[in-house]
Amino acid sequence: MKLSSGRLYLDCNATTPLAGPVAEVLARAQEQAFGNASSTYLEGREARVALEDARGHVAALMGCRSDEVIFTGSATEANHLAVTSAARAAGHRRRVLISAIEHPAVYDQREALEGAGFKVEEIPVTPAGTVDLGRLEGLLAEDVALVCVMAAHNETGVLQPVDEVGRLCERHGAWFHCDAVQALGKVSSPWDSARPRTMAAAAHKLYGPKGAGALAVRRGTVISPVLVGGGQEGGRRSSTEAVPLAAAFGKACELALQSLGAMAGKAPLRDGMEDVLAGRWGAFIHGGSAPRLPNTSFFSLPGVPGLQVAQALDELGVAVSTGSACHAGQAVESRVLGRMGVPGELQGCALRVSLGRDTTSGHVEAFCSALAQALEKVAGNADYPGKA
């Protein structure tokens, strides 16, 4: 998408700007729904109405019932609430299975789980970037408390076989937690088909505000709060409700639900771009053989450092990311690509392009032209490894 600054923003899996109508709702709610939703006088009651209205829209996008939505401050918090609750409900079940490619918001809870006496095991992925169902089946047993598999991967965009994961978990009585942060707003919610007990969402990935997340909790599931205090959100997440953020999140979900068709229409743009990348520069598309989100392309241009290309593109007015293969400006080994068996030399060459709701074919063409310029610039750099 083109920003008002004129820059080409192609990193919509990292975050999205506020949609216009969402910004309007946020501004209005800051003024008109500022009351404490727990107060019984008029301003409180108005805030409560706005909050419950928003909950309905979030529930509609997630595919669950309104009373199954807990508002949180982020998707990271929602993931922590789910994992903590599952751990506290585990009883005699002492094993946890986490996919090898989970986002750090889930994956990095391993240590805390181990500290609490759980044996944490990784569910391997195939070279296509899909959770290996055969291996999961082999790992599942009656002592597994929790299984974490995301719905769609933030870097590769690969859609995970969560329906099958859900069936396997149900058969073994394990709590299935699904991080659906990247899937929601891009493809339909897996809530009904995969039947996770808990599912996480983030507003800012779907043109909503930062600082707003949600956890869907299937009826009958006991949640152990991480934040205790005032007993808000049915005692499951204390802290005065952020009504304006929730209202904006609700509007973003309403728009996202209406835009699923438009998002599906991004796949041909993405595929056309990948044809150019592969044909012109020999790009290797990570997860290219698996079903993917319609907006995501994660690829390596052999021999060309991804970080340098991303920096050159930035100078040319184009924002793309290196996935998580780069932290604080340093190229590091990618856990995700490593687990997919991608050789180290290709890992450092990775770039992620994630299209937005408003990305056009013209934007994709502009990206390809900018990439050609960026590659020329990188080839002229003294420290470019391919330079003679």
105 binds ligand PLP, rule: CB under 6 A: yes
Helix/strand/coil for 304 = coil
Q: Minimum distance from CB of 188 to ligand PLP (Å)? A: 17
Residue 141 contacts by C-beta under 8 Å, 6 or more apart in sequence? 95, 172
**Residue whose CB is less far from ligand PLP, 140 or 214:** 214
Residues in 206-235 that interact with ligand PLP by CB under 6 A: none
The answer to whether the CB of 27 falls within 8 A of the CB of 14 is no
182 binds ligand PLP, rule: CB under 6 A: yes
75 binds ligand PLP, rule: CB under 6 A: yes
**Residue whose CB is less far from ligand PLP, 294 or 370:** 294
The answer to whether the CB of 175 falls within 8 A of the CB of 197 is yes
- Distances in Å between the Cα of 368 and the Cα atoms of 4, 198, 279, 318 are 21, 40, 12, 11
Lookup: tokens for 343? 């050789």
Lookup: tokens for 319? 């924002």
Q: Minimum distance from CB of 2 to ligand PLP (Å)? A: 23
Applying CB under 6 A, among 86, 145, 148, 179 the residue interacting with ligand PLP is 179
The string of DSSP letters for 353-372 reads EE--TT--HHHHHHHHHHHH
Applying CB under 6 A, among 202, 263, 326, 353 the residue interacting with ligand PLP is 202
12 binds ligand PLP, rule: CB under 6 A: no
181 binds ligand PLP, rule: CB under 6 A: yes
Q: Is 368 a catalytic residue?
A: no
Annotated active-site residue in 12, 64, 148, 326: 326
**x/- letters, 24..63, toward ligand PLP (CB under 6 A):** ----------------------------------------
**Residue whose CB is less far from ligand PLP, 182 or 334:** 182
Tracing tokens 């003679």 back to the chain, one arrives at 388
Q: Minimum distance from CB of 336 to ligand PLP (Å)? A: 11
Helix ranges restricted to H, 127-242: 133-139, 162-172, 191-194
Give the H/E segment covering residue 148: strand 144-148
**Residue whose CB is less far from ligand PLP, 351 or 374:** 351
Neighbours of 131 (CB within 10 A): 25
The answer to whether the CB of 26 falls within 8 A of the CB of 54 is no
**Residue whose CB is less far from ligand PLP, 291 or 303:** 291
Helix/strand/coil for 217 = strand
Tracing tokens 């330079």 back to the chain, one arrives at 387
Query: For the chain, how many residues are written?
Result: 388
334 binds ligand PLP, rule: CB under 6 A: no
Lookup: tokens for 200? 């996480």
Q: Minimum distance from CB of 14 to ligand PLP (Å)? A: 7
Part in contact with ligand PLP (CB under 6 A); list of ranges 71-79, 92-100, 137-145, 284-292: 71-79
CA–CA dist 343, 330 (Å, integer): 18
Lookup: tokens for 60? 């509609």
150 binds ligand PLP, rule: CB under 6 A: yes
CA–chain centroid gap for 317, Å, is 25
**Residue whose CB is less far from ligand PLP, 81 or 375:** 81
Task: Compute how many residues bind ligand PLP; rule: CB under 6 A.
Answer: 12
C-alpha count within 13 angstroms, C-beta hemisphere, residue 7: 13
186 binds ligand PLP, rule: CB under 6 A: no
Q: Minimum distance from CB of 368 to ligand PLP (Å)? A: 26
Q: Minimum distance from CB of 205 to ligand PLP (Å)? A: 7
Q: Minimum distance from CB of 120 to ligand PLP (Å)? A: 18
The answer to whether the CB of 287 falls within 8 A of the CB of 153 is yes
Part in contact with ligand PLP (CB under 6 A); list of ranges 23-31, 179-187, 232-240, 262-270: 179-187
Q: Which residues bind ligand PLP (CB under 6 A)?
A: 74-76, 103, 105, 150, 154, 179, 181-182, 202, 204
Show which residues are catalytic: 326
